Amino acid sequence: MGEIIAFVSVKGGVGKTTMSLEVAANLVHKFKKKVLLVDANFSAPNVGLYLNVISDYTLHNCLEDVPLTNSVYEAFGIDIVPASMDYERKVDITKLKKILANYKKRYDFIILDSSPSYEELKPVLNAADKVFIVTTPDNVTLRTSLKAATMAKEEKCQVEGIIVNKIRSPRHEYNLEQIEEIAEIPVLAKIKDSKKMVICLNNKKPISVEFPGNCISKEIARFASCLCGESEFPNKLNKKVMSLVAKEKVNRDVYRNKYYESQISTPKA
């Protein structure tokens, strides 16, 4: 049985689409997982534009009872369900959970890119098994992004961690300890800003595919490893040394151990 995970924030521009896409690419290419990436930003979808996916059917059609398989497209080994930018009829977005439930057995992971809109975020939270907050390390964005964590708790959805994205000037931004103190949520990845992202947007390719050696690609790969219970360290010595100096790596090990425990306690379907 697959997991539905969502990358959320109530602030635009923090990198939810990038995280959703790059995590999906890493799970597919590095860890050989079967992944469905769903663009659940109902009013301003980005995934299809990012990858130049031309679609006859979208998630909006599925919300009007068109089978989801009609809207699945493939790009870079990832199964993708785009959404429509200009859908003419109003749809019932609360159907998302029911639609996706029928496909959890077909995929190892279903990844949801989300909207910053409160109303559009609610069905994503209801559908997700686990949620990750995406934020940048400045005060305004962090405080705003954490409203998504409050919403998730209200919807009884598990918030697993924070992804700190677009780190530009660490001397003038919150560090990981400060973010965790404010949020009371563990930081699982810290991602530097990079001009390489502009190149990838222009080329319509994931950075993990275009520049696998880039610092962004490496950090997202490490984060993806903990999602599926894989080690991110080449040997035990490195694991011991790195865990002493990098808090986000310690947090990923904690998450990884939770994954192991869930695999033992959950009976196979």
CA distance 196 to 105: 36
Read off the pLDDT of residues 238-250 as tens digits, 9 standing for 90 and up.
555 454 457 788 8
Read off the pLDDT of residues 125-167 as tens digits, 9 standing for 90 and up.
999 999 999 999 999 999 999 999 999 989 888 899 999 999 9
Q: What is the DSSP letter of 81?
A: E
Highest CATH level, class, for 3-213: alpha beta
Is residue 145 helix, strand or coil? helix
User: Do residues 128 and 116 touch, judged by C-beta distance below 8 A?
Assistant: no
What pTM does this model have?
Answer: 0.90
Map out the domains of the chain as residue ranges.
Answer: 3-213
User: Do residues 36 and 72 touch, judged by C-beta distance below 8 A?
Assistant: yes
Tokens 């200009």 sit on residue: 86
Burial 144-164 (b: 16+ CB within 10 A, else e): bbbbbbebbeebebebbbbbb
Handedness of CA 199, 252, 118, 168 (dihedral sign): negative
The per-residue pLDDT for 253 is: 85
Can you say how many angstroms the Cα of residue 207 is from the centroid of all Cα atoms in its chain? 15
Read off the pLDDT of residues 69-83 as tens digits, 9 standing for 90 and up.
999 999 999 999 999
